[in-house]
Each structure stands twice: as C-alpha cells, then as structure tokens.
Amino acid sequence: GTAPGQQLRALFYALAPGESSFRTVEEVPDYVEKSIPFFITFIGLEFAVSWIQKRKLPGRINDGISSLSLGILSRLPDVLFRSIELISYIHVWNNYRLFELPWDSPWTWYLTLLGVDFAYYCFHRMSHEVNILWAAHQVHHSSEDYNLFTALRQSVLQKYTSWMFNLPMALFIPPSVFAVHLQFNLLYQFWIHTEVITKLGPLEWILNTPSHHRVHHGRNPYCIDKNYGGTLIIWDRIFGTFEAEDAKVVYGLTHPVNSFDPIMLQLRPLAHIWNTCWATPGFCNKLSVIFKGPGWGPGKPRLGLPEEIPVITGKEVPFNPRVPAYLNCYALVHFAVIVDLYIELLASMTMLSQGTVLLRIGFIILSLASFGLLMENKSKAGILEIIRCLVFIGVYKLGHFRSHFPFLGYAYEV
C-alpha cells in the first residue's frame, strides 16, 4: 500500500524513482483509485479559495454532476475487464520485446516518464486532428465550466484507441514501470484543471500548468488545437503547438452540446459522424469524414478552415436551464447515493457474482442518465425517475445493493 503522504505526492508526479519502482505489475498500487479522497478534498479546497478570491463558486451543480457522471461512466468498463492499455502492453512485452531495461534503475524511471508523456502528446494531438478519435475525446471538452470537476469528465471510448501509442515502449520498458507512469501522467492532469492558480513563474517553461491547460480547453480561435502536453509542455514548444494564455478564455466546444445527459454526451458525436458520412458523396470523401479533422468538408484543408471557427464575443452564456432549487437538492442527494454505490462496487467487486455486478452497473447508468434529464428539466425526466426509484427499492429489498455505510440502509428506503 501507499502512505497518504506518498499518495498526495503522486498527484503531482512528485515521487522519487526509489519509492515508485516495482518488480511486477501486480505490486503496482492503484494510485488512481486511492486518490479519490484527495480529489474530493481538493474540490472542496477549490470551492473555498474561489469563494475567498472572487466571492463566487468555481462551477455549477448541473455541470458538476454531469462531469462526475461522465467520470464514473468512463471507469465502469474497468470494473468488468482489465485495462486494455495494460493487457496490450504486457502482450507485446511478453512476445516481442527487443531488450529489457532494469526495472529498478532511476534511468529507466525517467526515460519512461518522457516516453509515456510523449506518447500522450501524440495521442492527444491525434484526438483533436482525427474526427473519429475526436468523437471520443470531445466529451472531456464539453463542459462550459473549468474546474476540478472538469478533470474527472472522461470518455468511455477513448482508452480503446489510446493504448496503441504506448506499444513502442513495450519493446524495452518493463510493464511494472509503465503501469506506474501511466497512472502518474493521468493524476498529474487533475490539478491543472482550475482557475484559482494563475501563473507559476519559471515552471511554465517546462511543465504543463493550469494556465497552459486553460488555453487547451478554450473555444477562442487562438486556443483551438494548442497545448496538448500531459505533464510536460516541452513537446508543444518543440512541435509548434504551444500558445500562451492571452485574452480571457471561454471554455467548451466551438459548437456547444447543450446537454447534461451523460449517455448522450458520450454517443452523440458518433451519430453525427455516421450521419455526415452518409450525407457526404464519394467513397474517399466518406473516409475523409472519419479520418480528417472535425472541421473538414469536401474542398477544405485537412483540419478545416480557421475562419470558420465561431468568433468569441465574451458575452457567451453557458447552457443553464432554470430548475427549481428543490430539484437541484434532490439530484445532489441521489447522486451522492450513486457515488456511494459505485465506491461500494469497486470495493466488493471480487466477491460479487457477474450478474450482480452487471445489475449494479446497469442501475448506475440508468441513474446518471435520469439525473442528466432532470437537470435539463426535460418533460420525460419525472417518469424515468419514478421508474428508477421503483427499480432501486425492488433491487434493494432483494439484497443486491449494499451501502458502504450500513447505517444508511433505512434512509435509502425512505
């Protein structure tokens, strides 16, 4: 296991090679899962600091719940299958490795840091420049707020393409070293999703910082397709994709999605590509719709025309349907119940039958979709919510749900 102090430093990539090198993959801690308490603490801190600094909160309830829902959804496949990133890596290592770097050498550790981060840069850049990859990645950009909730807003589909970019390292870097850096690279990117940290002086030259990443999340024309780095910003400086923060950044997609329904946010871009593909004449053009940039159309350059990016006036209003206060409270309380069920599922996964696991996953997905529709004030939301509550009581009575906190049983039934 890892001590809390170590776990906290893992969030900032601040562990020394000696304390984070392992002989086998099995020994590598699940740093991401162990970070959940720190995520919650930092989100609370961000709220406090933002309130002290500007007398306003860093986000909205509807957008925050939407981001967390997408985060939970993105982790659900890992409950059922081992991570494809590790499985594919270990397969290449076992069958095709050319030579073996020592797992306990600091040199291997630092080389892997650079390797994982460069692979991330390449993958991240492709995710913006190839439409079918963008369909997965755009979920992370769909929030019109920018706060630590946004960091947890992840795609279900993205990991099914990102694994390929890491495979060259499997020819010589041991899987146990790779498994550590894969997590650190992800964890480091959590704390840079905030507006409460402005500039970090000389660190801005080498590291990816909140300022650089705000640009990446902007829909201002100067922000588009910039600052792809994970932990380091050096790749952007080398390959000409770097842009410093300048005019006030307006967050979100150039064409906002205007939805809080996590299922829709994950799948609608794929439907859009499918429809565009059908409507575009010519086989080569159809392929281009899939493999060129999201802004491409017949007769345009690969990444589309910069002048077609909508101009930012500074008067953009985020999608924020009016919802009675009691509905927001209701969604919050029930969302907390679902988070409890999700954490309990992670904790007791190995003891549950496949059927119970699938039932819980299905119920979590149904709930997250229902909350999304409630916060959009959709007319059908009430009916779906009543069905969901009835399903919950039925399944709870049959003993398929357990809470992390036994004393909540009675409250849940109420």
Residue 123 and residue 186: Cα distance in Å, rounded?
13
- Sign for the CA dihedral angle at 62, 63, 68, 72 comes to positive
Rounded to 10°, the helix 354-375/325-348 angle is 160
Residue 407 has pLDDT above 90, yes or no: no
DSSP 3-58: -HHHHHHHTTT---GGGS--SSGGGS--HHHHTHHHHHHHHHHHHHHHHHHHSS-S
- Residue partners of 294: CB distance under 8 A and separation at least 6: 128, 131, 134, 138, 304
Residue 156: closest CA among 144, 138, 178, 143: 138
Query: Mean pLDDT over residues 321-342, rounded?
Result: 92
Alpha carbon 226 to its chain centroid, in Å, reads 18
Find out whether 57 and 50 touch, Cβ atoms under 8 Å: yes
The pLDDT tens digits of the residues spanning 49-108 come to: 999 998 988 999 999 999 999 999 999 988 888 789 999 999 999 999 999 999 999 999
Residue 76 and residue 359: Cα distance in Å, rounded?
12
Find out whether 323 and 260 touch, Cβ atoms under 8 Å: no
Residue 222 and residue 244: Cα distance in Å, rounded?
9
Residue 245 and residue 229: Cα distance in Å, rounded?
15
Find out whether 296 and 304 touch, Cβ atoms under 8 Å: yes
CB atoms within 10 A of CB 404: 15
Determine what percent of the chain is predicted with pLDDT higher than 70: 99
Find out whether 140 and 154 touch, Cβ atoms under 8 Å: yes
Residue 175: closest CA among 117, 93, 85: 93
| Helix residue spans in 349-403 (DSSP H) | 354-375, 381-397
Q: Where are the domains of the chain?
A: 4-239, 325-411
The amino acid that residue 229 corresponds to is G
The pLDDT tens digits of the residues spanning 203-237 come to: 999 999 999 999 999 999 999 999 999 999 999 99
- Residue at token pair 């922000």: 223
Measured at the alpha carbon of residue 239, what is the angle toward residues 105 and 113, in degrees to the nearest 5? 15
Token pair for 118:
């460069």
Find out whether 228 and 216 touch, Cβ atoms under 8 Å: yes
Find out whether 338 and 80 touch, Cβ atoms under 8 Å: no
Identify the helix (H) or strand (E) that includes residue 235: helix 234-239
Residue 404 has pLDDT above 70, yes or no: no
Q: What is the pTM of this model?
A: 0.94
The pLDDT tens digits of the residues spanning 230-287 come to: 999 999 999 999 999 999 999 999 999 999 999 999 999 999 999 999 999 999 999 9
Find out whether 262 and 369 touch, Cβ atoms under 8 Å: yes
Token pair for 200:
């970090």
Residue 1 has pLDDT above 70, yes or no: no
Distances (CA, A) of 67 to 139, 266, 336, 372: 9, 11, 14, 10
The pLDDT tens digits of the residues spanning 351-399 come to: 888 888 999 999 999 999 999 999 999 988 999 999 999 998 888 888 7
The pLDDT tens digits of the residues spanning 150-161 come to: 999 999 999 999
